[in-house]
Amino acid sequence: MPEKILYEYAILRLVPKVEREEFINVGVILFSKKEDYLKVKYFINDNRINAFCHELDLDFIDSNLNALSKIAEGIHPESA
């Protein structure tokens, strides 16, 4: 029987307007201590986000999610 490996995850959510209690899933963090694995995957759906709130700076959101991904890879975001 193959050994079971525990993976944990967290969903990354974008909350355009807190008062409306709406959110958009934009990514996932996947972690396994045993496998020494940590990755961040994300996707920004411009049309979907703009349907919720067209005032958001999508480049700023992408920059922040990309920095989080780099941190998970062990890369300093400003040096990449």
The answer to whether 73 touches 30, Cβ cutoff 8 Å, is no
78 occurs within a structural domain: no
Number of domains in the chain: 1
The answer to whether 28 touches 10, Cβ cutoff 8 Å, is yes
List pLDDT tens digits, range 19-35: 888 899 999 999 999 99
2 occurs within a structural domain: no
33 occurs within a structural domain: yes
pTM: 0.83
List pLDDT tens digits, range 27-70: 999 999 999 999 999 999 999 998 888 889 999 999 999 999 99
Per-residue pLDDT band for 79 (boundaries 50, 70, 90) equals low
12 occurs within a structural domain: yes
Q: In the structure encoding, which two tokens stand for residue 35, read together?
A: 């496998």
